[in-house]
A and B are shown apart, each in its own frame.
Chain A
Amino acid sequence: MKPQEIKFPKNYLEKTDEPRNKLIRDMFPINEKKNEPKTKD
Protein backbone atom coordinates (compact mmCIF):
# COMPACT_ATOMS: atom_id res chain seq x y z
CA MET A 1 0.00 0.00 0.00
CA LYS A 2 1.12 3.52 -0.73
CA PRO A 3 0.47 6.33 1.76
CA GLN A 4 -1.82 8.09 -0.72
CA GLU A 5 -4.06 5.00 -0.87
CA ILE A 6 -4.86 5.07 2.85
CA LYS A 7 -8.53 5.61 3.54
CA PHE A 8 -10.30 5.72 6.86
CA PRO A 9 -14.01 4.93 6.74
CA LYS A 10 -16.73 7.28 7.89
CA ASN A 11 -17.72 6.45 11.48
CA TYR A 12 -14.15 5.19 11.97
CA LEU A 13 -13.67 2.98 15.02
CA GLU A 14 -10.35 2.97 16.84
CA LYS A 15 -9.60 -0.58 17.90
CA THR A 16 -6.76 -1.75 20.11
CA ASP A 17 -4.68 -4.92 20.12
CA GLU A 18 -5.36 -6.23 16.63
CA PRO A 19 -1.79 -7.60 16.18
CA ARG A 20 -2.09 -9.62 19.40
CA ASN A 21 -5.56 -10.82 18.40
CA LYS A 22 -4.24 -12.04 15.07
CA LEU A 23 -1.57 -14.07 16.88
CA ILE A 24 -4.28 -15.79 18.91
CA ARG A 25 -6.54 -16.33 15.90
CA ASP A 26 -3.60 -17.92 14.06
CA MET A 27 -2.94 -20.16 17.05
CA PHE A 28 -6.54 -21.42 17.10
CA PRO A 29 -7.69 -21.49 13.49
CA ILE A 30 -11.21 -22.75 12.88
CA ASN A 31 -13.37 -23.19 9.83
CA GLU A 32 -16.52 -21.21 9.39
CA LYS A 33 -19.32 -22.05 11.76
CA LYS A 34 -21.67 -24.70 10.44
CA ASN A 35 -24.60 -24.10 12.80
CA GLU A 36 -24.85 -27.77 13.61
CA PRO A 37 -26.15 -28.35 17.11
CA LYS A 38 -23.95 -30.05 19.66
CA THR A 39 -25.22 -33.48 20.66
CA LYS A 40 -24.75 -34.30 24.29
CA ASP A 41 -24.14 -37.87 25.45
Chain B
Amino acid sequence: MKKRMNLKQRIKLVLNEALGIPDDIDMIVNIYTNLIIEKIEKAFEEQEPDEVTINVPGFDDEVAYGYEFSIKGEDSWNYMRKSPLFSKEKWEKFPSYKNKIKVNFTVFPDEVFETKNVSSPQVGASHIFQPEKFKIKNIKIGEVYNISSYEFDINISESQIQNLQLALPKLKSVISHEIFHSYQLFIKYKKSGLVGYGKGSVYNSLTQLTKSQFNEEWNKFLMRIYFSLKFEQQARIPQLYYELKDKNINSYDDFMNELKKTEYYNEIKYLKSFSTKEMVNSIIKIESFYDLITQGPKSKEFFENLENWNEFLKVISEKLRNVGMDVKDFRGLSPKVRENPEIFFNYWGKVFNKNADDMFRAAAKIYDKLKKD
Protein backbone atom coordinates (compact mmCIF):
# COMPACT_ATOMS: atom_id res chain seq x y z
CA MET B 1 0.00 0.00 0.00
CA LYS B 2 1.37 3.42 -0.93
CA LYS B 3 2.22 5.72 1.96
CA ARG B 4 0.45 9.09 1.72
CA MET B 5 2.47 12.25 2.25
CA ASN B 6 1.46 14.52 5.07
CA LEU B 7 0.87 18.22 4.45
CA LYS B 8 4.39 19.25 5.52
CA GLN B 9 5.97 16.71 3.16
CA ARG B 10 3.74 17.85 0.30
CA ILE B 11 4.65 21.51 0.89
CA LYS B 12 8.35 20.58 0.90
CA LEU B 13 7.94 18.64 -2.35
CA VAL B 14 6.12 21.51 -4.11
CA LEU B 15 8.74 23.98 -2.87
CA ASN B 16 11.61 21.81 -4.13
CA GLU B 17 10.03 21.43 -7.54
CA ALA B 18 9.42 25.18 -7.78
CA LEU B 19 13.05 25.87 -6.94
CA GLY B 20 14.31 23.38 -9.49
CA ILE B 21 15.48 20.73 -7.04
CA PRO B 22 13.37 17.74 -7.99
CA ASP B 23 12.62 15.32 -5.19
CA ASP B 24 12.78 12.52 -7.79
CA ILE B 25 16.58 12.64 -8.01
CA ASP B 26 17.31 12.74 -4.27
CA MET B 27 17.31 8.98 -3.70
CA ILE B 28 19.62 8.15 -6.59
CA VAL B 29 21.97 11.05 -5.71
CA ASN B 30 22.38 9.64 -2.19
CA ILE B 31 22.74 6.03 -3.33
CA TYR B 32 25.28 6.79 -6.08
CA THR B 33 27.30 8.98 -3.71
CA ASN B 34 27.49 6.09 -1.24
CA LEU B 35 28.41 3.69 -4.03
CA ILE B 36 31.22 5.88 -5.33
CA ILE B 37 32.59 6.62 -1.84
CA GLU B 38 32.63 2.88 -1.02
CA LYS B 39 34.40 2.04 -4.27
CA ILE B 40 37.00 4.79 -3.73
CA GLU B 41 37.71 3.50 -0.22
CA LYS B 42 38.03 -0.03 -1.57
CA ALA B 43 40.29 1.01 -4.45
CA PHE B 44 42.51 3.04 -2.12
CA GLU B 45 42.85 0.08 0.26
CA GLU B 46 43.26 -2.71 -2.27
CA GLN B 47 44.32 -1.38 -5.65
CA GLU B 48 47.89 -0.70 -6.73
CA PRO B 49 47.88 2.90 -7.91
CA ASP B 50 49.62 4.38 -10.91
CA GLU B 51 52.30 6.84 -9.96
CA VAL B 52 51.98 10.05 -11.95
CA THR B 53 54.15 13.12 -12.08
CA ILE B 54 52.61 16.50 -11.41
CA ASN B 55 52.93 19.26 -13.98
CA VAL B 56 52.31 22.07 -11.54
CA PRO B 57 55.11 24.64 -11.19
CA GLY B 58 56.89 24.16 -7.86
CA PHE B 59 55.93 20.48 -7.65
CA ASP B 60 58.34 19.08 -10.23
CA ASP B 61 59.71 16.35 -7.99
CA GLU B 62 56.39 15.45 -6.40
CA VAL B 63 54.20 12.54 -7.39
CA ALA B 64 50.49 11.93 -7.30
CA TYR B 65 48.73 8.57 -7.18
CA GLY B 66 46.12 7.70 -9.74
CA TYR B 67 43.36 5.12 -9.48
CA GLU B 68 40.74 4.14 -12.03
CA PHE B 69 37.74 1.90 -11.84
CA SER B 70 34.49 1.29 -13.65
CA ILE B 71 31.20 0.20 -12.19
CA LYS B 72 29.21 -1.86 -14.66
CA GLY B 73 25.58 -0.97 -15.32
CA GLU B 74 24.45 -4.26 -13.81
CA ASP B 75 26.43 -3.54 -10.63
CA SER B 76 25.17 0.03 -10.20
CA TRP B 77 21.60 -1.25 -10.51
CA ASN B 78 22.14 -4.11 -8.04
CA TYR B 79 23.71 -1.71 -5.55
CA MET B 80 20.80 0.68 -5.92
CA ARG B 81 18.01 -1.85 -5.54
CA LYS B 82 19.68 -3.44 -2.50
CA SER B 83 20.43 -0.13 -0.80
CA PRO B 84 18.54 0.60 2.44
CA LEU B 85 17.74 4.00 0.87
CA PHE B 86 15.97 2.39 -2.11
CA SER B 87 12.22 2.87 -2.45
CA LYS B 88 10.48 1.33 -5.47
CA GLU B 89 7.79 3.99 -5.27
CA LYS B 90 10.38 6.76 -5.57
CA TRP B 91 12.40 4.91 -8.23
CA GLU B 92 9.32 4.53 -10.45
CA LYS B 93 9.17 8.31 -10.78
CA PHE B 94 12.67 8.35 -12.27
CA PRO B 95 13.44 4.71 -13.14
CA SER B 96 17.15 5.13 -13.77
CA TYR B 97 18.44 1.64 -14.41
CA LYS B 98 21.79 0.13 -15.41
CA ASN B 99 24.15 3.09 -15.56
CA LYS B 100 27.86 2.60 -16.13
CA ILE B 101 29.98 4.78 -13.87
CA LYS B 102 33.65 5.43 -14.59
CA VAL B 103 35.76 6.95 -11.85
CA ASN B 104 39.29 8.27 -12.11
CA PHE B 105 40.70 9.67 -8.89
CA THR B 106 44.09 11.17 -8.26
CA VAL B 107 45.59 11.87 -4.86
CA PHE B 108 47.68 15.06 -4.78
CA PRO B 109 49.78 16.54 -1.98
CA ASP B 110 47.71 19.01 0.05
CA GLU B 111 50.07 21.82 -0.96
CA VAL B 112 48.93 21.62 -4.60
CA PHE B 113 45.42 22.68 -3.53
CA GLU B 114 46.88 25.43 -1.32
CA THR B 115 49.01 26.73 -4.20
CA LYS B 116 45.98 26.80 -6.49
CA ASN B 117 43.86 28.35 -3.72
CA VAL B 118 41.10 25.79 -4.22
CA SER B 119 39.46 23.35 -1.87
CA SER B 120 39.68 19.58 -2.12
CA PRO B 121 38.22 17.73 -3.93
CA GLN B 122 37.96 19.27 -7.38
CA VAL B 123 35.68 17.04 -9.40
CA GLY B 124 35.27 16.92 -13.16
CA ALA B 125 32.18 15.06 -14.36
CA SER B 126 30.08 14.24 -17.39
CA HIS B 127 26.74 12.71 -18.22
CA ILE B 128 26.96 10.70 -21.44
CA PHE B 129 24.31 9.15 -23.65
CA GLN B 130 23.91 7.92 -27.21
CA PRO B 131 20.95 9.75 -28.77
CA GLU B 132 20.30 6.96 -31.30
CA LYS B 133 19.75 4.48 -28.48
CA PHE B 134 17.53 6.74 -26.41
CA LYS B 135 14.51 4.73 -25.30
CA ILE B 136 12.34 4.07 -22.29
CA LYS B 137 11.76 0.33 -22.12
CA ASN B 138 9.16 -1.81 -20.44
CA ILE B 139 10.57 -4.89 -18.80
CA LYS B 140 9.43 -7.28 -16.07
CA ILE B 141 10.05 -4.84 -13.21
CA GLY B 142 8.28 -2.02 -15.05
CA GLU B 143 9.33 0.96 -17.10
CA VAL B 144 13.10 1.51 -17.12
CA TYR B 145 15.20 4.40 -18.31
CA ASN B 146 18.49 3.01 -19.40
CA ILE B 147 20.43 5.60 -21.36
CA SER B 148 22.93 7.21 -19.01
CA SER B 149 26.53 6.66 -18.16
CA TYR B 150 28.65 8.88 -15.95
CA GLU B 151 32.30 9.81 -15.68
CA PHE B 152 33.89 11.38 -12.63
CA ASP B 153 37.41 12.71 -12.46
CA ILE B 154 38.20 13.35 -8.81
CA ASN B 155 41.29 15.28 -7.70
CA ILE B 156 41.64 14.87 -3.98
CA SER B 157 44.19 15.83 -1.32
CA GLU B 158 46.25 13.30 0.61
CA SER B 159 44.72 14.36 3.91
CA GLN B 160 41.17 14.13 2.61
CA ILE B 161 41.54 10.64 1.18
CA GLN B 162 42.00 9.47 4.79
CA ASN B 163 38.61 10.92 5.70
CA LEU B 164 36.34 10.80 2.69
CA GLN B 165 33.36 12.11 4.63
CA LEU B 166 34.95 15.56 4.30
CA ALA B 167 34.78 15.23 0.52
CA LEU B 168 31.18 14.08 0.56
CA PRO B 169 29.27 17.40 0.12
CA LYS B 170 31.33 18.40 -2.92
CA LEU B 171 31.19 14.95 -4.43
CA LYS B 172 27.46 14.67 -3.84
CA SER B 173 26.84 18.08 -5.36
CA VAL B 174 28.69 17.17 -8.58
CA ILE B 175 26.90 13.80 -8.75
CA SER B 176 23.56 15.61 -8.38
CA HIS B 177 24.49 17.90 -11.29
CA GLU B 178 25.11 14.96 -13.64
CA ILE B 179 22.10 12.94 -12.47
CA PHE B 180 20.01 16.05 -13.01
CA HIS B 181 21.14 16.07 -16.67
CA SER B 182 19.82 12.54 -17.02
CA TYR B 183 16.59 13.59 -15.31
CA GLN B 184 16.16 16.59 -17.65
CA LEU B 185 16.32 14.27 -20.66
CA PHE B 186 13.92 11.81 -19.04
CA ILE B 187 11.29 14.44 -18.21
CA LYS B 188 11.57 16.08 -21.62
CA TYR B 189 11.12 12.74 -23.38
CA LYS B 190 8.16 11.79 -21.18
CA LYS B 191 6.44 15.10 -21.80
CA SER B 192 7.19 15.63 -25.48
CA GLY B 193 8.83 12.51 -26.93
CA LEU B 194 11.85 14.66 -27.82
CA VAL B 195 15.50 13.61 -27.32
CA GLY B 196 18.23 15.97 -26.16
CA TYR B 197 18.58 19.50 -24.83
CA GLY B 198 17.38 21.17 -28.06
CA LYS B 199 19.04 24.50 -28.77
CA GLY B 200 21.26 23.93 -25.70
CA SER B 201 22.83 20.88 -27.39
CA VAL B 202 23.64 22.99 -30.45
CA TYR B 203 25.39 25.69 -28.42
CA ASN B 204 27.08 23.01 -26.29
CA SER B 205 28.66 21.60 -29.48
CA LEU B 206 29.46 25.08 -30.75
CA THR B 207 31.56 25.83 -27.66
CA GLN B 208 33.62 22.73 -28.43
CA LEU B 209 33.91 23.09 -32.17
CA THR B 210 34.98 26.73 -32.39
CA LYS B 211 37.73 26.69 -29.77
CA SER B 212 40.73 28.76 -30.77
CA GLN B 213 44.35 27.69 -30.93
CA PHE B 214 45.46 31.30 -30.80
CA ASN B 215 43.05 33.26 -28.67
CA GLU B 216 42.54 32.34 -25.02
CA GLU B 217 40.10 35.24 -24.59
CA TRP B 218 37.85 33.71 -27.25
CA ASN B 219 37.95 30.38 -25.39
CA LYS B 220 36.96 32.18 -22.18
CA PHE B 221 34.08 33.74 -24.10
CA LEU B 222 32.95 30.25 -25.19
CA MET B 223 33.23 29.11 -21.57
CA ARG B 224 30.78 31.86 -20.62
CA ILE B 225 28.36 30.64 -23.29
CA TYR B 226 28.58 27.16 -21.73
CA PHE B 227 27.87 28.62 -18.25
CA SER B 228 24.85 30.40 -19.74
CA LEU B 229 23.22 27.33 -21.31
CA LYS B 230 19.79 26.91 -19.79
CA PHE B 231 20.17 23.18 -19.14
CA GLU B 232 23.51 23.84 -17.45
CA GLN B 233 22.12 26.65 -15.31
CA GLN B 234 19.29 24.36 -14.20
CA ALA B 235 21.75 21.60 -13.23
CA ARG B 236 23.72 24.05 -11.10
CA ILE B 237 20.74 24.61 -8.80
CA PRO B 238 20.66 21.11 -7.26
CA GLN B 239 24.47 21.20 -7.33
CA LEU B 240 24.51 24.31 -5.15
CA TYR B 241 21.78 22.98 -2.89
CA TYR B 242 23.66 19.74 -2.13
CA GLU B 243 26.89 21.65 -1.59
CA LEU B 244 25.29 23.93 1.02
CA LYS B 245 22.76 21.53 2.51
CA ASP B 246 24.82 20.31 5.46
CA LYS B 247 26.77 23.51 6.15
CA ASN B 248 24.63 24.47 9.12
CA ILE B 249 23.38 27.72 7.60
CA ASN B 250 21.32 29.72 10.09
CA SER B 251 21.54 33.27 8.86
CA TYR B 252 21.98 35.25 5.67
CA ASP B 253 25.59 35.97 6.68
CA ASP B 254 26.26 32.23 7.08
CA PHE B 255 24.71 31.69 3.69
CA MET B 256 26.77 34.37 1.95
CA ASN B 257 29.98 33.13 3.60
CA GLU B 258 29.36 29.61 2.34
CA LEU B 259 28.07 30.73 -1.06
CA LYS B 260 31.28 32.67 -1.67
CA LYS B 261 33.29 29.44 -1.29
CA THR B 262 31.36 27.65 -4.03
CA GLU B 263 32.09 27.13 -7.70
CA TYR B 264 28.60 28.51 -8.36
CA TYR B 265 29.59 31.89 -6.95
CA ASN B 266 32.82 31.92 -8.97
CA GLU B 267 30.78 31.26 -12.09
CA ILE B 268 28.52 34.24 -11.32
CA LYS B 269 31.64 36.40 -10.93
CA TYR B 270 33.10 34.98 -14.14
CA LEU B 271 29.96 35.85 -16.11
CA LYS B 272 29.89 39.33 -14.59
CA SER B 273 33.55 39.96 -15.36
CA PHE B 274 33.08 39.75 -19.14
CA SER B 275 34.39 42.83 -20.86
CA THR B 276 33.58 43.72 -24.46
CA LYS B 277 36.62 45.98 -24.54
CA GLU B 278 39.04 43.22 -23.48
CA MET B 279 37.45 40.86 -25.96
CA VAL B 280 37.73 43.28 -28.85
CA ASN B 281 41.32 44.09 -27.83
CA SER B 282 42.20 40.41 -27.94
CA ILE B 283 41.36 40.48 -31.63
CA ILE B 284 42.73 43.78 -32.82
CA LYS B 285 45.22 45.23 -30.35
CA ILE B 286 48.96 44.67 -30.73
CA GLU B 287 50.87 45.13 -27.46
CA SER B 288 53.72 42.66 -27.73
CA PHE B 289 55.89 40.81 -30.21
CA TYR B 290 53.75 37.73 -29.59
CA ASP B 291 50.64 39.74 -30.52
CA LEU B 292 52.36 40.86 -33.70
CA ILE B 293 52.83 37.25 -34.75
CA THR B 294 49.45 35.90 -33.60
CA GLN B 295 47.16 38.87 -34.24
CA GLY B 296 46.74 38.06 -37.93
CA PRO B 297 45.47 34.48 -37.39
CA LYS B 298 43.44 35.54 -34.32
CA SER B 299 41.70 38.29 -36.20
CA LYS B 300 41.09 36.15 -39.31
CA GLU B 301 39.71 33.33 -37.18
CA PHE B 302 37.38 35.65 -35.28
CA PHE B 303 35.93 37.34 -38.36
CA GLU B 304 35.39 33.94 -39.96
CA ASN B 305 33.56 32.76 -36.84
CA LEU B 306 31.47 35.91 -36.81
CA GLU B 307 30.55 35.52 -40.46
CA ASN B 308 29.87 31.80 -40.11
CA TRP B 309 28.09 31.98 -36.74
CA ASN B 310 24.61 31.11 -38.03
CA GLU B 311 26.03 28.58 -40.48
CA PHE B 312 27.72 26.81 -37.54
CA LEU B 313 24.38 26.67 -35.72
CA LYS B 314 22.63 25.36 -38.82
CA VAL B 315 25.22 22.67 -39.62
CA ILE B 316 25.47 21.51 -36.00
CA SER B 317 21.66 21.29 -35.82
CA GLU B 318 21.60 19.12 -38.96
CA LYS B 319 24.41 16.87 -37.72
CA LEU B 320 22.74 16.44 -34.35
CA ARG B 321 19.46 15.52 -36.05
CA ASN B 322 21.36 12.91 -38.09
CA VAL B 323 22.59 11.23 -34.90
CA GLY B 324 19.18 11.06 -33.25
CA MET B 325 18.78 14.37 -31.42
CA ASP B 326 15.60 16.39 -31.78
CA VAL B 327 16.67 19.87 -32.74
CA LYS B 328 14.30 22.33 -34.32
CA ASP B 329 15.61 24.95 -36.69
CA PHE B 330 16.03 28.22 -34.89
CA ARG B 331 17.01 31.71 -35.84
CA GLY B 332 20.61 32.50 -35.11
CA LEU B 333 21.89 36.01 -34.52
CA SER B 334 20.60 38.83 -36.70
CA PRO B 335 22.99 40.46 -39.21
CA LYS B 336 22.83 43.60 -37.05
CA VAL B 337 24.31 41.78 -34.02
CA ARG B 338 27.05 40.35 -36.24
CA GLU B 339 27.80 43.70 -37.85
CA ASN B 340 31.01 44.29 -35.93
CA PRO B 341 32.91 42.80 -32.95
CA GLU B 342 31.75 45.46 -30.51
CA ILE B 343 28.04 44.95 -31.19
CA PHE B 344 28.48 41.18 -31.15
CA PHE B 345 30.25 41.10 -27.78
CA ASN B 346 27.96 43.75 -26.29
CA TYR B 347 25.05 41.47 -27.14
CA TRP B 348 26.73 38.53 -25.37
CA GLY B 349 27.76 40.74 -22.46
CA LYS B 350 24.07 41.44 -21.81
CA VAL B 351 23.28 37.71 -22.06
CA PHE B 352 26.04 36.86 -19.54
CA ASN B 353 24.98 39.62 -17.18
CA LYS B 354 21.35 38.49 -17.21
CA ASN B 355 22.38 34.88 -16.58
CA ALA B 356 24.61 35.92 -13.68
CA ASP B 357 21.66 37.84 -12.16
CA ASP B 358 19.38 34.81 -12.66
CA MET B 359 21.94 32.60 -10.94
CA PHE B 360 22.12 34.95 -7.99
CA ARG B 361 18.32 35.05 -7.70
CA ALA B 362 18.19 31.23 -7.80
CA ALA B 363 20.83 31.09 -5.03
CA ALA B 364 18.74 33.45 -2.88
CA LYS B 365 15.78 31.08 -3.24
CA ILE B 366 17.99 28.22 -2.10
CA TYR B 367 18.74 30.23 1.02
CA ASP B 368 14.98 30.36 1.73
CA LYS B 369 14.79 26.64 1.28
CA LEU B 370 17.81 25.92 3.50
CA LYS B 371 16.20 27.92 6.27
CA LYS B 372 13.06 25.78 6.03
CA ASP B 373 14.90 22.41 5.79
Which A residues have a C-beta under 8 Å from some C-beta of B?
Answer: 1-4, 6-8, 11-21, 23-25, 27-38
Contact = CB atoms under 8 A, between A and B. Distances in A.
Nearest to B133: A11
A30 B56 CA distance: 8
Contact of B116 (A7, A17, A27): A27
Contacts, number: 122
A16 B181 contact: yes
Interface residues of B, number: 58
B48 A3 contact: no
B96 interface: no
Interface core residue of A7, A30, A37 (most chain B CB under 10 Å): A30
Given A8-B322, A19-B207, A38-B65, A30 B52 contact: yes
A27 B65 CA distance: 16
Contacts of B112: 28
B49 A38 contact: yes
Interface stretch (B4-12, B123-131, B245-253, B365-373): B123-131
Given A2-B308, A12-B132, A28-B56, A18 B126 contact: yes
B56 A29 contact: yes
A36 B125 CA distance: 26
B52 A2 contact: no
Q: Which of A19, A25, A36 neighbours the largest number of chain B CB atoms within 10 Å of its CB?
A: A19
A37 B49 contact: yes
Interface of B: 48-56, 64-66, 106, 108, 112, 116, 118, 122-132, 153, 155, 177-178, 181, 196, 201, 204, 207-210, 222-223, 226, 232, 235, 304, 308, 311-312, 314-316, 319-320, 322-325
Given A31-B55, A32-B52, A3 B222 contact: no
B322 A2 contact: no
B237 to A, nearest CB: 15
Given A8-B319, A15-B128, A19-B223, A33 B116 contact: no
Contacts of A36: 50-51
B210 A35 contact: no
B367 to A, nearest CB: 24
A14 B129 contact: yes
A2 B304 CA distance: 8
Nearest to B182: A16
B210 A25 contact: no
- Central interface residue in A1, A7, A17, A34, by most chain B CB within 10 Å: A17
Nearest to B108: A28
Given A13-B129, A16-B127, A30 B116 contact: no
